[in-house]
């Protein structure tokens, strides 16, 4: 029996410094070393979410980390999830269930909520810590947002409750790592500064020896040891949490491959639905809202969205709706997932104003369904039959369509509420069709992900001082 370890928190000097991926690496490392780790992020803000085995909703990043840890995901791993609906409001998901919509100002003001969110997230951590060890915690954004210190639920106040050892992660690739690390530590209260037990420099490019002096300088400045410098990698695949990365995937059409265009929506969600297709060597997948690209693509996919009516209106304004209909008329395959599925129907209505002020809009008319938005949310893991084979996925959606079919198909147009639909080999082979028959299918997605978690763990092990980290956690 392994001796229990203190929790570890991966906190950040800012957003997108790699906290989620480093946390996933530690989940896999601790599992390999004989522990039973579990991930925890008190509050997550993301449009990528996942359904637990119990049919509840958490942030996708914590589901990925649980997978790396080799355990089923649970709402206690991410008790509070904020899903942005506009620049100022978010849907609040508490312990896996929608709690309501909150204005950002009201949410961050003290004493304006009818429920004690801090009590809820601390209770979730305590339940998780009673079942797993160690807990690999993830902070959110920057730990130095001192204007939000009193209402912070996820960074150092949460570390204090957990008795966690905090490791500060800085991103050297974006520049200014000395200032961001030093400033992040110095802006803490003396009490919180003591919680920070180490520094990890992430996304280093070039000759590692060039930063040896930099590590010593950081240690002298901050009084905190540098526990590792992790190089940037290109050959390891871990699911992305944020849609920022999609802007870098506006690739052009490619000769000799099946060109798959994912319509770039303003409120796109669960874009991990396309990761399996993106890594298929037979496929060139890209994101676009250019009408010419849509018409030239072999396959068009309308993805999920947090605001179906708003994005449907924009598709009509920018000409993408008409381009999709024309491409379908010309014989191109069109696939809609979740909100994209709703848009492919005859009508989308919102009589209660669940999404906003748009009461109804006609869909693209390619599928014989109509959808009514409703306050309730469907969240569940599912199995379904496709092309004679059993497949798996999960549903997370608002709105009720007037059919109970898992997958609706009319000719070369397919729609479904199922996320993970395109992770199933029978679905991919059917959609790619004759265009990709000559190529060799890939290994299963589950086997691929396991391989990537092991590669990530090996990469991080090589470049951080695990012996010292275990000393800190003991």
Q: Where are the domains of the chain?
A: 8-232+451-473, 245-442
Give 119-157 pLDDT, tens digit per residue: 999 999 999 999 999 999 999 999 999 888 888 999 999
pLDDT for residue 80: 96
Give 313-342 pLDDT, tens digit per residue: 999 999 999 999 999 999 999 999 999 999
Give 4-51 pLDDT, tens digit per residue: 999 999 999 998 899 999 999 999 999 999 999 999 999 998 888 999
Within 13 A of 156's CA, how many CA atoms are on the CB side? 25
Give 232-247 pLDDT, tens digit per residue: 998 898 986 655 455 5
The C-alpha atoms of residue 164 and residue 178 are separated, in whole angstroms, by 24
pLDDT for residue 253: 76
CATH numeric code, 245-442: 3.40.50.880
Give 110-126 pLDDT, tens digit per residue: 555 568 999 999 999 99
Output the CA–CA distances (angstroms, integers) from residue 170 to 3, 15, 108, 405, 470, in the order listed.
Answer: 30, 10, 25, 47, 20
Residue, of 269 and 469, whose pLDDT is higher: 469
Residue, of 70 and 254, whose pLDDT is higher: 70
The residues annotated with a catalytic role in the active site are 338, 419
Would the CATH topology of 8-232+451-473 be identical to that of 245-442? Answer: yes
The C-alpha atoms of residue 72 and residue 62 are separated, in whole angstroms, by 10
User: Which residue, chain included where needed, has tokens 């009720």?
Assistant: 400
**% helix, strand, coil for the chain, step of 5:** 35, 30, 35
Q: How confident is the model at residue 100 (pLDDT cuts 50, 70, 90)?
A: confident
The C-alpha atoms of residue 120 and residue 76 are separated, in whole angstroms, by 10
* Percent of the chain topping pLDDT 70: 92
Domain 8-232+451-473 fold is Rossmann fold (3.40.50)
Q: State the Cα torsion 221-224-227-233 to the nearest 10°.
A: -50
Q: How confident is the model at residue 1 (pLDDT cuts 50, 70, 90)?
A: low
Largest Cα–Cα separation, the chain: 67
Q: How confident is the model at residue 252 (pLDDT cuts 50, 70, 90)?
A: low
The C-alpha atoms of residue 378 and residue 314 are separated, in whole angstroms, by 25
User: Which residue, chain included where needed, has tokens 């803000």?
Assistant: 45
């Amino acid at each position: 029996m392994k001796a229990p370890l203190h929790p570890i928190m991966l906190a950040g000097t800012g957003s997108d410094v790699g906290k989620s991926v480093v946390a996933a690496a530690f989940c896999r490392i601790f599992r390999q070393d004989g522990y039973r780790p579990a991930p925890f992020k008190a509050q997550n803000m993301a449009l990528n979410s996942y359904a637990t085995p119990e049919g509840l909703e958490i942030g996708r990043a914590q589901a990925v980390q649980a997978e790396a840890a080799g355990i089923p995901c649970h709402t206690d791993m991410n008790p509070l999830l904020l899903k942005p609906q506009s620049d100022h409001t978010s849907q609040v998901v508490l312990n896996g269930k929608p709690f309501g919509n909150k204005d950002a100002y009201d949410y961050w003001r003290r004493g304006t909520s009818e429920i004690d969110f801090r009590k809820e997230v601390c209770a979730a951590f305590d339940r998780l810590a009673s079942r797993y060890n160690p807990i690999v915690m993830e902070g959110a954004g920057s730990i130095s947002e001192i204007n939000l210190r009193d209402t912070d639920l996820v960074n150092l106040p949460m570390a204090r409750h957990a008795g966690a050892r905090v490791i500060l992660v800085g991103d050297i690739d974006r520049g200014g790592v000395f200032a961001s690390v030093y400033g992040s530590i110095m802006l803490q209260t003396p009490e919180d500064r003591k919680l920070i037990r180490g520094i990890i420099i992430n996304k280093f490019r070039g000759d590692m020896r060039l930063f040896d002096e930099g590590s010593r300088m950081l240690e002298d400045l901050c009084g905190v040891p540098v526990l590792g410098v992790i190089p940037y990698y290109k050959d390891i695949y871990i699911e992305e949490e944020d849609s920022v990365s999609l802007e870098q995937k506006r690739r052009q059409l490619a000769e000799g491959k099946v060109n798959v265009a994912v319509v770039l929506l303003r409120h796109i969600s669960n874009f991990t639905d396309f990761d399996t297709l993106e890594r298929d060597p037979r496929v060139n997948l890209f994101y676009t809202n250019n009408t010419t690209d849509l018409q030239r693509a072999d396959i068009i996919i309308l993805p999920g969205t947090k605001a179906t009516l708003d994005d449907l209106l924009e598709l009509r304004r920018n000409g993408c709706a008409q381009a999709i209909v024309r491409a379908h008329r010309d014989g191109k395959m069109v696939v809609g997932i979740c909100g994209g599925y709703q848009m492919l129907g005859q009508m989308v209505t919102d009589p209660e104003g669940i999404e906003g002020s748009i009461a109804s809009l006609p869909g693209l008319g390619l599928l014989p369904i109509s959808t009514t938005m409703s306050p309730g949310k469907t969240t569940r893991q599912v199995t379904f039959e496709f092309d004679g084979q059993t497949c798996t996925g999960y549903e997370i959606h608002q709105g009720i369509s007037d059919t109970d079919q898992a997958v609706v198909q009319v000719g070369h147009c397919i729609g479904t509420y199922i996320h993970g639909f395109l992770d199933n080999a029978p679905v991919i082979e059917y959609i790619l069709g004759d265009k990709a028959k000559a190529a060799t299918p890939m290994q299963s997605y589950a086997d691929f992900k396991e391989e990537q978690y092991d590669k990530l763990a090996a990469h991080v092990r090589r470049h951080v001082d695990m012996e010292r980290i275990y000393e800190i956690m003991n």
